[in-house]
Amino acid sequence: MKKFLTITLIVFSMMIFAACGDSKKENTDPTNEPTTTEPSTEEPTTEPTTEPTTEPDEDGCTGISIDWETFYMDESYPNSFYATANFGDASLQDILAIEFYQNEDYQTVAGTYDLGTEMNSNYETCTECVRVYQDYDTENGPAKQFFQKSGTLTVESVDNKGNISGTIKAKLIEVTIDTDTFASIPVAGGACIKIETATFGSICTPQCDGKVCGPDGCGGTCGDGCGEDKTCSTDQKSCVPWECDTLAPGEVTLKMQEGYFGTSYYYEASASSGDTSLDDFLRLQFYNEGITVGTINLSEGDNANYATCTECFLYLEDIDEDGYPGKIYFQQSGKLVFETLGTRDYESTGNANFRLVEVNIDDDYNSVPVLGGKCYEVKNLEWDTICVPQCDGKVCGPDGCGGTCGDGCDEDTTCSTDQKSCIAFNCTEITLGEGNYDDYYGTYDMSYTPNTQDDDIVSLALSTEESGTYNLYGLGIKDAPLYFIVYEGYTSGAGYNKLYFQQKGTVKLTTEKGNSELKVKAEISGLRLEESTYSSYNFTPVPGGACYEVKDTTISYTVEEDEEGYDD
């Protein structure tokens, strides 16, 4: 089973505590960003129990106090639960962690578990695991770590979100954790602590007394709801008629977002409401396997919630300079009609009539209506997102619809400015200069000459750590084991004026892994980069654009390993 070597980012109400997550669990998040989780504000099903701190008992173990009111599940790792403790340096935080590795889905199963069984006697193999971190410092980690020696953990109930409640009694001994095997190794003469029998819980209790509609505080709804034609009053005591403004979106166009893990499509239209100095966008997002001619009810089944919808209208109102909307609206009722389909994915003509209501989107992507929030009626929205390629008289280059006119050009030619012929490359030769490794982006960035200004760089990114000889011709970012980009002409506030992406070249890559570093050697020959535009992980050559040819060279650098692995 997978284990966590250190605690993931946690925020408690009394103070902020941060540590890098390091886990044997494969990280499937493409952004690989750390996650900060707010403590649960849900009420436990029973009164929290706090044990008093005591003097060492006959076993030399000290009783510790746990603040069960802080007990909550880490949203990033639903098999992990945390609470604060109090027994070390009062100026530093002590943490209790309960982790479950009972099945491959990391779902917690109710039952009573012996913490001293053979499997549970070591962190490397435990299925029910209790750990305590004493005097946690954000820079240096905990002063001491403790792992279960004996005791009983009872999970009495598990709700549909994975929150648990139950009881625990445990004896824990001081250990170190092997960074490779995750084995817990007892510290000779180390300390010993005890958790006396205590009740814990993070199960939410619905708050519906006197309410006939609206949220119950636990992700559900009080009563039977108000249907499509009415909304819940601010006090949740009655269903009242909708009073919505009319929203008139502008022209609707098809947007395509292509990423490493698939392609997503959405239609987008501008609109005007709220603060007229800020942008507003209406989006129809698709989370399905394609569209067909027909009518779709926007309030039925999966489409009633943003977390599950397959055809999803979102209205983003008053978007600030950082890209965050002041308010979000989601479909509450209405119909969506696809009349005809284009030859490319998700192209169509159609219309829609629907109601949008103000919502909050929670951590699980559930759309929760705002009590007393605004609403909009959208009437007779029409679109034609079928793109017609513009290739008359053109034999190469972009067709205006994401494709290419003709058969394109071969390895030794590029498309002319008028797209009517393939012509020979006429490139400037550049020589690579000094470089440095960028920890944040995982790239090796080099100066080059001649250049337009000092900020210009050639950036090498690796998508592999395997040695080999790689031919780069015809490979994009998602396909290439490594790739080169030139960033040219930086302007403050606007970024780089031009980008160049590899068109061809050969790289002999030699890598050597050490205990805490990766040595990289790249022998570059025949590398050509051509001026390109970038969108959604794709580089498209600019017809008649400039190009660079890199003088054959060898570069070498070293990547230091961090807690998640090598920086690249």
At 56 the pLDDT is 63
Domain boundaries, the chain: 4-201, 245-384, 425-566
The mean pLDDT of 492-521, rounded to a whole number, is 92
Residue 261 pLDDT grade (very low, low, confident, very high; cuts 50, 70, 90):
low
The DSSP output letter for 51 is: P
Percent of the chain with pLDDT over 90: 66
At 18 the pLDDT is 27
Instruction: Give bridge partners of residue 448 from the DSSP assignment.
Output: 432
Q: Which residue reads 């935080």 in tokens?
A: 93
What value does the CA radius of gyration of the chain take, rounded to a whole number of Å?
A: 29
Residue 129 makes CB contacts below 8 A (sequence gap 6+) with 3, 97, 98, 99, 100, 101, 120, 123, 147, 148
- CB neighbour class for 209 (10 Å; exposed up to 12, middle 13-18, buried from 19): exposed
Q: What is the pLDDT of residues 61-99, one digit of tens each?
A: 999 999 998 898 887 788 899 999 988 888 899 999 999
Choice between 495 and 347, residue whose per-residue pLDDT is larger: 347
Q: Which residue reads 């605004």 in tokens?
A: 374
Residue 402 pLDDT grade (very low, low, confident, very high; cuts 50, 70, 90):
confident
Cα–Cα distance measured from residue 82 to residue 225, given in angstroms and rounded to the nearest whole number: 34
pLDDT at 320 over 80: yes
Cα–Cα distance measured from residue 130 to residue 253, given in angstroms and rounded to the nearest whole number: 53
pLDDT at 52 over 50: no
Choice between 19 and 110, residue whose per-residue pLDDT is larger: 110
Residue 45 pLDDT grade (very low, low, confident, very high; cuts 50, 70, 90):
very low
Q: Please give the single-letter amino acid code of residue 205.
A: T
pLDDT at 447 over 90: yes
Instruction: Extract the tokens encoding 193.
Output: 């602590």
pLDDT at 568 over 90: no
The mean pLDDT of 251-261, rounded to a whole number, is 74
At 25 the pLDDT is 22
The mean pLDDT of 438-453, rounded to a whole number, is 93
At 251 the pLDDT is 87
Instruction: Give bridge partners of residue 241 from the DSSP assignment.
Output: 230
The DSSP output letter for 404 is: B
Q: What is the pLDDT of residues 323-374, one digit of tens each?
A: 899 999 999 999 999 999 998 889 999 999 999 999 999 877 989 899 889 9
The dihedral of CA 79, 83, 88, 91: what is its sign? positive
pLDDT at 134 over 60: yes
Cα–Cα distance measured from residue 442 to residue 465, given in angstroms and rounded to the nearest whole number: 12
The mean pLDDT of 42-71, rounded to a whole number, is 64
At 175 the pLDDT is 97
The mean pLDDT of 489-501, rounded to a whole number, is 90
At 74 the pLDDT is 83
Cα–Cα distance measured from residue 67 to residue 132, given in angstroms and rounded to the nearest whole number: 13
Q: What global pTM score does this model have? A: 0.60
At 11 the pLDDT is 28
Choice between 32 and 387, residue whose per-residue pLDDT is larger: 387
How much is the mean pLDDT over the chain?
85
pLDDT at 262 over 70: no
Contact 201, 166 (CB under 8 A): yes
At 58 the pLDDT is 64
Choice between 162 and 66, residue whose per-residue pLDDT is larger: 66
pLDDT at 133 over 60: yes
Residue 276 makes CB contacts below 8 A (sequence gap 6+) with none
Cα–Cα distance measured from residue 19 to residue 142, given in angstroms and rounded to the nearest whole number: 10
The mean pLDDT of 112-129, rounded to a whole number, is 96
At 422 the pLDDT is 96
The mean pLDDT of 231-254, rounded to a whole number, is 91
At 160 the pLDDT is 77
Q: How many CA atoms does the CB half-sphere of 240 hold within 13 Å?
A: 13
The mean pLDDT of 434-439, rounded to a whole number, is 93
The mean pLDDT of 117-121, rounded to a whole number, is 95
The Cβ of residue 359 has, within 10 Å, a number of other Cβ atoms equal to 22
At 331 the pLDDT is 97
pLDDT at 414 over 90: yes
At 50 the pLDDT is 40
The mean pLDDT of 532-554, rounded to a whole number, is 93
DSSP secondary structure letters along 341-390 = E-SSTT-EEEEEEEEEEEEEE-TT--EEEPTT--EEEEEEEEEE------
Residue 38 pLDDT grade (very low, low, confident, very high; cuts 50, 70, 90):
very low
Q: What is the pLDDT of residues 539-548, one digit of tens each?
A: 999 999 999 9
